[in-house]
């Protein structure tokens, strides 16, 4: 039996994004005896992590960072220095969908990830545990191992897979109290030793039975499969919502009825304008690409349909708006309540509201967008539309809706339930429409106020017998 490496208690995380930042903040909080450094090539982002205005909005994050920053949590741009001094390295760089060459629009772009692997190899001076946190195609760890072992430098690198399951908006809660933590490793003595070190780190705050050790390929694939299953549930209920609109069934009642079957369960059954976020679409397309690579065309088509239904749901919502508003939106003022891809985040990546806003602009509507957290990102995303005066951003929802023909609710921010819709109705052009893309509002009350109400997957409540989908 060879001597097992003795790793120091310095942790490095490469990539200070939505995953790396919050994950390391919680880890530092729970493990005061570890020194945790988070590095990134983006100096602006690191400066923000070191300031009072963190680069991402996440409930509870500021408190954790305040407790740990400068104590045992550090943010830096010194990647080489970090690699030299830390023996436990998490990699959480972005792996977006490839936009060029073979697999464009489907496969994961691994350039940032490979660059990181090479940097680790260049600067390492001691044995390392390298932990994949980013979502990666199954069997990526093998490529990581090959790069790390491509030089005969006498060092050992153990690669583990520890995928992240945090959801934005509840990241801190998910990290502090995860359903499960997966730690995938090879089945060698050194790999098991590295795995046990990571198990011990998590065991500081996660009950042992929720820390699952498994094969490294299973771990990588479980992350892709989990996201595919979650997204599939949303596309399933959204497909049911389309049929509800035709048959006067109510999708909320149907979701409740099916969710009471304990085998199905009640969560993740809210019909919506479609799922957004940085993971679902990217991970499913990546999965589809991998299936096709192995010649498993039928399975690829099956999962691809989840993304197709999602695109269809957004188109359908837009079409319903057009039909309800007398088949023309040209010159109409339409207010989007919410722009984030879900509530409690400022993130707009793949937000269905982007598609809806652009679709409305294409119909020559005037779009006014309000959101309590995401306007900074909206300004960047829609810079061209804003410069052409097709889109305006307004922080106050009352002011945003003023003079509009319609409100379309995009994000389920609880504050939109609390607004005074009588006051809003008074300030709008008549007939005043509400399209509730999240079924968040009190539709009966809105109808009583005078609105033409179009919920999602339910019969419309109109005062004048208008368009029925
Ligand atoms: C997701 C996974 O949940 C998480 O485990 C993984 O690590 C990353 O991807 P996230 O994208 O942050 O997390 O948000 P999630 O809560 O899963 O929502 C994704 C999208 O689905 C949002 O646009 C949300 O509004 C939508 N959604 C969710 C629905 O439309 N209906 C639902 O019932 C649930
Ligand atoms: P995620 O949602 O997966 O966390 P983000 O895009 O929010 O994705 O964060 C990934 C981070 O990784 C970005 O801040 C990016 O600048 C950083 N990054 C990408 N490549 C490297 C690299 N080679 N070294 C250090 N950081 C990197």
**Pairwise CA distance, residues 105 & 95, whole Å:** 13
Mutate to test the pocket of ligand 1, among 94, 182, 258, 272 (most ligand atoms within 8 A of CB): 272
> Cβ distance 94 to 135 under 8 Å?
no
CA of 191 to the centre of ligand 1 (A): 33
CA of 115 to the centre of ligand 1 (A): 29
Q: Is 237 helix (H, G, I), strand (E, B) or coil?
A: helix
Q: Is 32 helix (H, G, I), strand (E, B) or coil?
A: coil
What would the pLDDT profile of 257-304 be if each residue is shown by its tens digit?
Answer: 999 999 999 999 999 999 999 999 999 999 999 999 999 999 999 999
In the predicted model, what is the mean pLDDT of residues 33-44? 98
Beta strands in 345-447 (DSSP E): 366-370, 391-393, 406-409, 433-436
What would the pLDDT profile of 104-160 be if each residue is shown by its tens digit?
Answer: 988 888 889 999 999 999 999 999 999 999 888 888 888 889 999 998 889 999 999
> Cβ distance 90 to 11 under 8 Å?
yes
Whether residue 46 has its Cβ less than 6 Å from ligand 2: no
- Of 113, 117, 114, nearest to 92 by C-alpha is 113
Quick check: 392 pLDDT over 80?
A: yes
**Pairwise CA distance, residues 272 & 89, whole Å:** 38
Q: Is 153 helix (H, G, I), strand (E, B) or coil?
A: coil
Mutate to test the pocket of ligand 2, among 13, 42, 56, 93 (most ligand atoms within 8 A of CB): 93
Contacts (Cβ under 8 Å, ≥6 apart) of 16: 38, 39, 40, 42, 45, 46, 49, 55, 75
Protein residue with least CA distance to atom 17, ligand 1: 167
In the predicted model, what is the mean pLDDT of residues 337-348? 95
Residue for token digits 């005062």? 463
Question: Which atom, in ligand 1's list, is nearest to the CA of 273?
Answer: 30
Question: Which atom, in ligand 2's list, is nearest to the CA of 278?
Answer: 2
**Pairwise CA distance, residues 369 & 90, whole Å:** 38
What does the pLDDT read at residue 430? Answer: 97
Same CATH fold, 225-308 and 10-206? no
Quick check: 1 pLDDT over 60?
A: no
Task: Note the pTM of the prediction, 2 decimals.
Answer: 0.94
Protein residue with least CA distance to atom 11, ligand 1: 277
Whether residue 19 has its Cβ less than 6 Å from ligand 2: yes
Quick check: 221 pLDDT over 90?
A: yes
**Pairwise CA distance, residues 116 & 315, whole Å:** 39
In the predicted model, what is the mean pLDDT of residues 50-66? 95
**CATH assignment, 225-308:** 1.10.1040.10
Quick check: 325 pLDDT over 80?
A: yes
**Pairwise CA distance, residues 78 & 85, whole Å:** 11
What does the pLDDT read at residue 134? Answer: 85
Joined together, the tokens standing for residue 274 give 């479609």
Mean pLDDT taken over the chain: 96
Q: Where do runs of H (alpha helix) occur along 187-327?
A: 189-202, 216-247, 251-259, 280-293, 297-324
**CATH assignment, 314-454:** 3.40.50.720
Whether residue 116 has its Cβ less than 6 Å from ligand 2: yes
**Pairwise CA distance, residues 448 & 207, whole Å:** 51
CA 274 to chain centre: 13
**Pairwise CA distance, residues 202 & 193, whole Å:** 15
Whether residue 12 has its Cβ less than 6 Å from ligand 2: no
DSSP type of residue 103: T
Protein residue with least CA distance to atom 27, ligand 1: 275
50-69: b or e for each residue (b if 16 or more CB lie within 10 Å)?
eeeebbbbbebbeebbeebb
**Pairwise CA distance, residues 64 & 172, whole Å:** 9
Residue for token digits 């990539």? 15
**Pairwise CA distance, residues 401 & 335, whole Å:** 6
What would the pLDDT profile of 10-26 be if each residue is shown by its tens digit?
Answer: 999 999 999 999 999 99
DSSP type of residue 260: T
**Pairwise CA distance, residues 83 & 89, whole Å:** 8
Protein residue with least CA distance to atom 17, ligand 2: 15
Domain 10-206 has CATH 2.130.10.10: no
Whether residue 278 has its Cβ less than 6 Å from ligand 2: yes
Nearest ligand to the CA atom of 18:
2
Mutate to test the pocket of ligand 2, among 12, 13, 24, 41 (most ligand atoms within 8 A of CB): 41
Is there a cis peptide before residue 297, judged by omega within 30 degrees of 0? no
CA of 92 to the centre of ligand 2 (A): 6
What would the pLDDT profile of 156-205 be if each residue is shown by its tens digit?
Answer: 999 999 999 999 999 999 999 999 999 999 999 999 999 999 999 999 99
Question: Does residue 465 or residue 402 have the better pLDDT?
Answer: 402
**Pairwise CA distance, residues 173 & 304, whole Å:** 31
CA of 86 to the centre of ligand 2 (A): 19
What does the pLDDT read at residue 137? Answer: 84
What's the alpha-carbon Rg for the chain, to the nearest Å?
24
Angle between helices 352-362 and 297-324 (to 10 degrees): 50
CA of 145 to the centre of ligand 2 (A): 20
Domain layout of the chain by residue ranges: 10-206, 225-308, 314-454
CA of 389 to the centre of ligand 1 (A): 32
> Cβ distance 437 to 359 under 8 Å?
no
**Pairwise CA distance, residues 314 & 54, whole Å:** 32
Nearest ligand to the CA atom of 15:
2
Joined together, the tokens standing for residue 95 give 């792996």
CA 287 to chain centre: 17
**Pairwise CA distance, residues 257 & 248, whole Å:** 16
Residues catalogued as catalytic: 279
Protein residue with least CA distance to atom 10, ligand 1: 167
CB atoms < 10 A from the CB of 3, how many? 5
CA of 232 to the centre of ligand 1 (A): 11
How confident is residue 466, by pLDDT bands cut at 50, 70 and 90? confident
């Amino acid at each position: 039996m060879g001597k097992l490496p003795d790793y120091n208690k310095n942790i490095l995380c490469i990539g200070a994004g939505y995953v790396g930042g919050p994950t390391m903040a919680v880890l530092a909080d729970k493990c005061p005896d570890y020194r945790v450094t988070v590095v990134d090539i983006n100096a602006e982002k690191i400066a923000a992590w070191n300031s009072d205005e963190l680069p991402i909005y996440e409930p509870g994050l500021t408190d954790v960072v305040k407790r740990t920053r400068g104590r045992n949590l550090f943010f830096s741009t010194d990647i080489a220095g970090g690699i030299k001094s830390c023996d436990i390295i998490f990699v959480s760089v972005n792996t977006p969908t490839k936009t060029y060459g073979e697999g464009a629009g489907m496969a994961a772009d691994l350039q940032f990830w490979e660059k990181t692997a090479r940097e680790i190899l260049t600067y390492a001076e001691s044995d390392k545990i390298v932990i994949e946190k980013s979502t990666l195609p199954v069997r990526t760890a093998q490529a990581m191992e090959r790069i790390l072992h491509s030089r005969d430098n006498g060092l050992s690198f153990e690669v583990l897979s520890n995928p992240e399951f945090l959801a934005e908006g509840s990241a801190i809660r998910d990290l502090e109290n995860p359903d499960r933590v997966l730690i995938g490793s090879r089945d060698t003595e050194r790999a098991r030793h590295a795995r046990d070190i990571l198990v011990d780190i998590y065991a500081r705050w996660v009950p042992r039975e929720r820390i699952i050790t498994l094969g490294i390929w299973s771990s990588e694939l479980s992350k892709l499969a989990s996201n595919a299953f979650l997204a599939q549930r949303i596309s399933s209920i959204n497909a049911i919502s389309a049929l509800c609109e035709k048959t006067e069934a109510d999708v909320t009642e149907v979701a409740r009825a099916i969710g009471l079957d304990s085998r199905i369960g009640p969560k993740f059954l809210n019909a919506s304008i479609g799922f957004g976020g940085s993971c679902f679409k990217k991970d499913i397309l990546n999965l589809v690409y991998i299936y096709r690579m192995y010649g498993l065309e039928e399975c690829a088509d099956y999962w691809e349909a989840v993304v197709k239904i999602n695109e269809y749901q957004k188109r359908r919502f837009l079409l319903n708006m057009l039909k309800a508003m007398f088949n023309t939106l040209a010159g109409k003022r339409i207010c989007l309540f919410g722009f984030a891809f879900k509530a409690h985040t400022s993130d707009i990546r793949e937000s269905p509201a982007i598609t809806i806003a652009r679709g409305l602009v294409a119909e020559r509507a005037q779009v006014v967008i309000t959101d309590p957290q995401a306007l900074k990102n909206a300004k960047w995303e829609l810079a061209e539309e804003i410069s052409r005066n097709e889109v305006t951003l307004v922080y106050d929802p009352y002011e945003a809706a003023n003079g509009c023909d319609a409100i379309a609710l995009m994000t389920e921010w609880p504050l939109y339930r609390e607004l005074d819709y009588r006051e809003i109705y008074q300030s709008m052009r008549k007939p005043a429409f509400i399209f509730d893309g999240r079924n968040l509002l009190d539709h009966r009350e809105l109808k009583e106020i005078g609105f033409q109400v179009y919920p999602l997957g339910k019969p419309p409540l109109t005062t004048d017998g208008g368009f029925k989908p």
